[in-house]
Chains A and B, each alone.
Chain A
Amino acid sequence: MIFGLIIIYILILIFDIPVILKTNNRRKTIIIYSVLLGVSFIISILLMLEKMPTTPSIVIEQIVKTVFMR
């Protein structure tokens, strides 16, 4: 399953490389693209391994309860 996930992300990269190479500000685009793809890849792997950090919904819920529902 993890191998399948890696293949999917490699395919995404292969599809996107020509688009990235056509951009004007290539360096900045590559950096931002890497961050975005890296974040989604890491979270996907952690989801698959069932080692997820706290979901953002719980964090948001705690903030909302602290601010609005004291």
Chain B
Amino acid sequence: MSSVFVTQAVVDAGPVSMGEQVAFYVLGTGSLIGALGMLFARNAVHSALWLVLTMLNLGVLYMVGQAPFLGFVQIIVYTGAIMMLFLFVLMMVGRESSDSVVEVLRGQRLAAGVIGLGFAGLLVAALVRSLTQVKPIGLAQPNAQGGGNVANVGKLIFTDYLFAFELTSALLITAAIGAMVLAFNEKRRRPAYAKSLQQELVEARFQGNRPSPLPGPGVFATANSVATPALLPDGSVAPESLSEVIESTARERLDPDLLPEPDAHALTAPEQREGES
């Protein structure tokens, strides 16, 4: 690889060399295929892997373009760290979720496709024109000065772009807080008596509303489950007998047979129980 750099470094800003052209066409095609694959892959994991292909190609393209530092950063940071983290997240969140194929706005996809292609065509046409007008300037000259490519990048970061560089820390802090806020679910605080001393426990019981223990679930009353509520003498459900876990679980998530079924042996009608619980 080092020979590639050296030969590129020798070629000055003049016309693009044959080797560079070949590299460009190979890598450019690769990155384009990767980008299209990312867009059209049905599976999110496949999309991410196509993106890795694009990034690898871009990384090598940077190296060919005499920016080795950028190339390595592209490969190590983007492809190595960020994309792998991204894959982790995809795997954790679950990769089954697929796109909905229902169009909410009629004809939206067609319109978006046509306009998108038109925009891409406009941009490509304009940029192709500018390719002939713009004089290419290689990095050979700046790379030869100072301490070489890496040192020069470092120098720019800590002089000309110092403020921009420091400001990115605000971005990182925001991102970290955002992830915490959106994903971190604080554990429900334990009830006060859980960790308290015996004396406090006694006081809490006798000064509270209920000196006696909580009623047990109505196991064996109508069913053989702790999810069955205990019934009060008038036939209504004793709310204290309901398990907190069951109460705090979304109804849809409970197994269907745990939900109260219409039961001939029940003391109250199902609708009534529904309303009380």
Whether A associates with B in a native complex is no
B residues contacting A by CB (< 8 A) are none
A residues contacting B by CB (< 8 A) are none
